[in-house]
Structure 1
């Protein structure tokens, strides 16, 4: 069975960026920037993005391109006889399924909010009533399941059409529209009265704020954000590496994806902070910002319904770009493992993903009594914890060791693949750093993340 390939380099970059550009870095990144001293935090974040994220993303691409397989089979192809690296493939596959099992619920809420904003459902509501809209959506099992299933239908439908005609074509259009809508929103936000206060707060370095909230906390926050924003460690990037040729070196391609991801996260802050400052509201973190704070701002803004609708188009594109990328990875598992056709793989995975996503969709209603990480937590929090705090860091360690150790694929094999083709090369001098120092940083992120979630 011939393996499909992407039709263009642009498709590869946009698909990779789409996987990295998710809802978390649109609402979490601006919040962290504000908390830890604006531009001061941005500088720390960019430093860690390059020294943490770039090497691991290049390793994932290299494993994918050299094996021409998804993570379901890539280690089988590249490991030496008798080695057991392929055991990790089962953990990585589980991680991708767990990720979509909670991400589909959040993306479903986004879709619901787009429809509500388009219908004018928020017009005339008090701030408390706007907050109640989100609460009632969460605790309504039928609504949450309906929107979740609709997201799965959209994602699987696009994957069923094919890699080039479906996944690549749709992602190119969607990412183009995402960037266009985002720039429109930035221009609007910057034109509001008092917007420049928000820009100053966001981008001018304030080292006092950095010190007040703790330099260690800021550094750990920047490390964690740089690490998790790229969805590394589960083969999400390896799959796109498996679809491209050897014309270009992989470090340069990884750098472009990092730049696009950072650009979108930074622009999100230029939408959120000027608007919040202009209307005197707190740019709080998490779902509350997107589902409560911003709808209230759109309610009092001129032509707020139109701008709110555009904002939720932007958020839906960000959510769907990740969904499509991870669905493509999941669909490729059964194609690689069982040589199934794309359509057969999509149908089976549609059923698995819908059934697997139901516990999260009803986690705030029927299963609200199940609070796995303490009072107030839900199924969504457990799945997010397993993926973000356990599988991603451990998976990143596997890629690091596999690409730098003789008992794995080895440094020479990795460098040969990473530097094949034109463009920026992976530096030979980085060997000691990626072999010894970077694994220690990832272990620190893993252990501190566990400590923070379980004991603080």
Structure 2
């Protein structure tokens, strides 16, 4: 087996893993559902589930990566008992990475486009209707969509072409550090706006009444879903970074660091959004509408709107690009693991593949808008997102989970020995019953609930 490149530092590993987990959901979904489901009361429920649901699977995915020293393309084959068929999932896992990039590249392109629009002052003194018009124009313009998508794909592979240490680790570390600096600047601006206090109160003061009104089960399942999806588990995008670290540290502590950073960015996003929205009497929406319509309107009201808007979209671009670089690194390693290709060949091949695969999403808002796969007003992107988020992520997490706990897979003893190699926080032995019998049922519940939400 050829020598595998390693991270040069622990902080590089943690920041890249966090970069993979920190994505658009942290900004356009987390603050909104937090506000909707009782503010800080919801955050407490969310943190509880992050601890009992997200973290154990994160440790398992890291363990499989580190023990096998391979990407998801071959990791199960390296570790599974002879004659077993766990490696069949690797094809679905690999497909999940490609599917995720099919729409992520397009949406990241919107972020980058808006960063330049803000800098140029395209939104200055525009009415609410005109701001919405700018977004609709972008959606309706296939050339523009494809141009920014190509810029993002080129940037992602350019970073990966430097190799693990000099490309991915170096650039992601800088980008993640900048992301934290930018978001702190935005928070200071947002919370010092006149009228921001109301938004802060809504966001930070626990509102158990709101939880009751929504229904405790609704809140619990929303918290479960968010804690699970926020870490991008189940497609080996996290496992790959396990394969690049040595055995000096136990994996539970590393997983906690990543979970904390991911949650921190999600919470900080809310500190930008709620005070700003309340200062100008705007309700905080969810999804693309919040980012591309609501917030540009909010920035317009501020003195120096171009600077604050540009900074916000720079932060969004960093959050999205960090995920893209992480997943591209995983995708490149498939070709290297499966066919022994060198870095250049793996990048050239995948750059073409991902460009072609991303086109349906970019065209789904304009030329292909007649394709509405999940019912009226849905797009190709909705279908791609549904396949990844509601199917492959929970299914993959279930596979990793069962692989690590049953004797038909890699097995509990092997998993525990790998997770607890080195120094740091141990994965507790007493958790065995919970992760073997209860956690799979929770993941199964999320899989079923995803379908129920979508179709009923």
Q: Provide TM-score, normalisation by structure 1.
A: 0.99
Say if 2:345 is the partner of 1:344. yes
Q: For 1:100-111, what aligned pairs fall within 5 Å after superposition?
A: 100-111=101-112
Match of 1:255 in 2: 256
**Deviation for aligned residue 1:286:** 0.6
| Alignment RMSD | 0.6
Per-residue CA shift, 1:271-327, capped at 9, x if unaligned? Answer: 000000000001011100000011011111011111111111100000100000000
Match of 2:163 in 1: 162
Aligned mates of 2:155, 2:68 — CA distance in 1: 29
Moved over 6 A (4+): none
Aligned mates of 1:8, 1:269 — CA distance in 2: 31
Paired residue secondary structure (2:135): helix
Aligned mates of 1:90, 1:6 — CA distance in 2: 26
Q: For 1:277-426, what aligned pairs fall within 5 Å after superposition?
A: 277-426=278-427
**Deviation for aligned residue 1:2:** 2.6
**8 Å CA contact retained: 2:124, 2:305:** no
Say if 2:437 is the partner of 1:441. no
Match of 1:205 in 2: 206
Per-residue CA shift, 1:410-442, capped at 9, x if unaligned? Answer: 000000000000000000000000001000000
Match of 1:80 in 2: 81
Paired residue secondary structure (2:86): coil
Match of 1:60 in 2: 61
Aligned mates of 1:52, 1:4 — CA distance in 2: 31
Q: How many residues are treated as equivalent by the alignment?
A: 455
Aligned mates of 1:100, 1:45 — CA distance in 2: 27
Aligned mates of 2:361, 2:215 — CA distance in 1: 34
Aligned mates of 2:137, 2:208 — CA distance in 1: 41
**8 Å CA contact retained: 2:115, 2:314:** yes
Match of 1:232 in 2: 233
Say if 2:247 is the partner of 1:268. no
Paired residue secondary structure (1:371): coil
Runs of 5+ unmatched residues, structure 1: none
**8 Å CA contact retained: 2:234, 2:400:** yes
**Deviation for aligned residue 1:269:** 0.2
Aligned mates of 1:256, 1:199 — CA distance in 2: 26
Runs of 5+ unmatched residues, structure 2: none
Match of 2:245 in 1: 244
Paired residue secondary structure (2:161): helix
Say if 2:8 is the partner of 1:37. no
Aligned mates of 2:300, 2:277 — CA distance in 1: 13
Paired residue secondary structure (1:173): helix
Per-residue CA shift, 1:212-268, capped at 9, x if unaligned? Answer: 111111111000000000000110110000000000000000000000000000000
Aligned mates of 1:225, 1:139 — CA distance in 2: 31
